[in-house]
């Protein structure tokens, strides 16, 4: 029986219905606000907003008046989108999941929001984030099991899509904050190539890694959103074009990296690989990260240094209002020397060359790994472990998490599919085949 809090909705289908006029933006707003009133007190995906219905109703009326002709309606006409509360939206305060005074974090509206509005979307509201998109959890609960974390730091965005409050939500990922919560909440999460969606108007965490991403119910929705939000998107014919070129070769990184996943998650991952092989796909196991501990150290050196630098002014003025987890990370970053960060960045460039060379030598089109170390941990005191996303985020490679099975106690698991830098279009096109195989298994 379907769980009452898990009702993800197709973005592409909903957008088509709204453009066709079978459902109007005002009716859509009424439905959404009713859902928020009934469901959100159980999962806390959205930041509370007085006057939400009035704001959205006015936006829906303006949209209807602007586009009376169905033929001229933009791709996301009337679609309600959740925006992570580190992304500036005109008219909505940015708190970053923190207790800092109102207005301290204010800034110009983010480019990603401008693009959503230009595509006809309505901002449903701000979604809950871990404090400053770091590790101190917010109040959001996992719609599959409300006693478990939804993951972080994009907790509210993932939960809002899983619960069917919105068909599209924006998140950010510095290390694992899109891929992991997508897996925990059983939805699709897409993190594009680093820099592919401009981060102007987003509170910085670690700018060498910070990347905007999206949550949707399925890959078709992610592809629709990506085409509207990413710079210089090259339109494709979906899987048909890739299929003519041959099925993708799938790579599995050998070594200590995969050992970070829990035994049950590894067994589920192996079962997924077996399903893909039975469907005729080639899976190759390739040594890739023999120095995984050093890669982790490099990322943490850059991350902590940049977090401390991003918050230097705010922390100096309001450090007493920061949560202990964030304070600890900033204190570590304050102790990192600039030359150590520079050395770590240089090492990353060498790693990028090595990985690109190994990928080409092995003939790998897509890398596969678990999206997280296991199912969502119980309790709300942690957002989970980001380690399965760590090397790919360090390299800035595009990745998507596809729902792929469940734990013994019914928690969702995800398959992380990683593409080449700048190859976001090919990643989503090729991953569509994997999505179909997993759905048919």
List pLDDT tens digits, range 353-369.
Answer: 999 999 999 999 999 99
Residue 125: in which H helix or E strand, if any?
strand 122-127
Same domain for 271 and 417, yes or no, is yes
Check which CATH number belongs to the domain holding 91 and give it. Answer: 3.90.1300.10
Residues 46, 114: one domain?
yes
Contact, 121 vs 221, CB < 8 A?
Answer: no
Q: How many Cβ atoms from other residues are within 10 Å of residue 316's Cβ?
A: 8
Note whether 325 and 409 are same-domain residues. yes
- The domain in which residue 324 lies consists of 245-440
Task: Report if residue 2 sits inside a domain.
Answer: no
Instruction: Give me the residues paired with residue 400 across strands.
Output: 190, 417
Q: Are residues 151 and 82 in the same domain?
A: yes
CB hemisphere CA count around 152 (13 angstroms): 29
Quick check: 395 and 380 in contact, CB under 8 A? no
- Residue at 29 is within a domain: yes
- Band (pLDDT 50/70/90 cuts) for residue 242 is very low
Same domain, 281 and 206: no
Where among 184, 199, 229 does a domain terminate? 229
Say yes or no: 258 and 202 in one domain.
no
Q: What is the pLDDT of residue 123?
A: 99
- Do 28 and 140 lie in a common domain? yes
- Same domain (yes/no): 52, 82: yes
The verdict on residue 238 lying in a domain is no
Mean of pLDDT over the chain: 95
- On whether both 30 and 123 belong to a single domain, the answer is yes
- Total count of domains within the chain: 2
In a domain, 162, yes or no: yes
Report the C-alpha gap between 393 and 79 in whole angstroms.
Answer: 29
Alpha helix stretches (DSSP H) within 311-423: 312-318, 324-334, 338-362, 390-395
Specify if 1 maps to a domain. Answer: no
For the segment 223-252, the average pLDDT, to the nearest whole number, is: 78
* CA distances for 31 relative to 23, 26, 53, 80, 342, angstroms: 11, 9, 10, 11, 51
The answer to the question of residue 239 being in a domain is: no
Residues 219 and 268 in one domain: no
Q: Catalytic residue numbers?
A: 84, 153, 177
Whether the pLDDT of residue 441 is over 80: the answer is: no
pLDDT band at 23 (very low <50, low <70, confident <90, very high): confident
Clarify whether residues 195 and 296 are in a common domain. no
Residue 236 pLDDT = 62
> For position 239, what pLDDT does the model report?
39
Confidence of residue 440 (pLDDT cuts 50, 70, 90): confident
Can you tell me the distance from the alpha carbon of 202 to that of 269, in angstroms, rounded to the nearest whole number?
34
The residue with greater pLDDT, 296 or 3, is 296
Span 344-361, average pLDDT: 98
- In this predicted model, what pLDDT tens digit does every residue of 98-156 receive, in sequence order? 999 989 999 999 999 999 999 999 999 999 999 999 999 999 999 999 999 999 999 99
Rounded to an integer, the average pLDDT of 393-420 is: 97
Residue that terminates a domain, selected from 160, 194, 229: 229
From 167, 201, 229, the end of a domain falls on: 229
Residue 161 in this model has a pLDDT that exceeds 90:
yes
User: What percent of the chain has pLDDT above 90?
Assistant: 95
pLDDT confidence of 237, banded at 50, 70, 90? very low
122 belongs to a structural domain: yes
What pLDDT, on a 0 to 100 scale, did the predictor assign at position 246?
67
pLDDT at 179 over 90: yes
Whether 235 maps to a domain, the answer reads no
pLDDT band, residue 240 (cuts 50/70/90): very low
Residue 1 pLDDT > 60, yes or no? no
pTM: 0.97
CA gap 330, 18 in Å, rounded: 45
Looking at the fold, whether 144 and 273 belong to one and the same domain comes out as no
Q: What percent of the chain has pLDDT over 70?
A: 96
Flag whether pLDDT at 243 surpasses 50. Answer: no
């Amino acid at each position: 029986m379907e769980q009452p809090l898990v009702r993800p909705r197709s973005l592409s289908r909903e957008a088509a219905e709204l453009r066709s006029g079978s459902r109007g933006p005002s009716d859509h707003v009424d439905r959404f606000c009713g859902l928020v009133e009934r469901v959100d007190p159980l999962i806390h995906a959205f930041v509370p907003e007085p006057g939400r219905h009035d704001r959205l109703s006015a936006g829906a009326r303006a949209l209807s008046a602007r586009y009376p002709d169905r033929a001229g309606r933009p791709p996301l006409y009337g679609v309600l989108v959740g925006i992570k509360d580190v992304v500036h939206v005109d008219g909505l305060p940015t708190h970053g999941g923190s207790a800092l005074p109102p207005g301290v974090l204010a800034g110009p509206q983010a480019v990603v929001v401008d693009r959503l509005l230009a595509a006809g979307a309505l901002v449903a509201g701000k979604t809950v984030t871990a404090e400053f998109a770091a590790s101190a959890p917010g109040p959001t609960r996992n719609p599959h099991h409300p006693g478990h974390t939804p993951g972080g730091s994009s907790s509210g965005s993932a939960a809002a899509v899983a619960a069917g409050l919105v068909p599209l939500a924006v998140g950010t990922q510095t290390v694992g904050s899109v891929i992991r919560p997508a897996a925990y909440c059983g939805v699709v999460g897409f993190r594009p190539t680093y820099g592919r969606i401009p981060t102007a108007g987003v509170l910085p965490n670690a700018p060498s890694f910070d990347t905007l991403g999206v949550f949707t119910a399925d890959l078709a929705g992610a592809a629709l959103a990506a085409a509207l939000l990413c710079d210089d998107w090259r339109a494709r014919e979906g899987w048909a074009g890739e299929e003519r070129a041959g099925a993708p070769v799938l790579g599995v990184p050998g070594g200590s990296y995969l050992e970070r996943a829990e035994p049950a998650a590894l067994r589920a991952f192996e079962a997924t690989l077996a399903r893909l092989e039975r469907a005729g796909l080639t899976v190759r196991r390739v040594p890739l990260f023999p120095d995984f501990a050093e890669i982790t150290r490099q990322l943490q050196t850059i991350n902590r240094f940049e977090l401390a630098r991003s918050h230097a002014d705010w922390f100096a003025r309001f450090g007493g209002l920061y949560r202990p987890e964030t304070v600890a990370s900033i204190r570590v970053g304050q102790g990192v020397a600039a030359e150590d960060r520079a050395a770590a960045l240089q090492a990353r460039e060498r790693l990028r060359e090595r990985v690109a060379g190994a990928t080409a030598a092995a003939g790998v089109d897509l890398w596969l790994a678990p999206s997280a170390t296991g199912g969502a941990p119980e309790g709300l005191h942690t957002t989970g472990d980001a380690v399965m996303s760590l090397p790919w985020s360090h390299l800035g490679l595009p990745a998507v998490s596809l729902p792929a099975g469940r734990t013994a106690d019914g928690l969702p698991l995800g398959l992380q599919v990683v593409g080449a830098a700048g190859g976001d279009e090919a990643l989503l096109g090729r991953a569509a085949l994997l999505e179909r195989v997993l759905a048919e298994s």
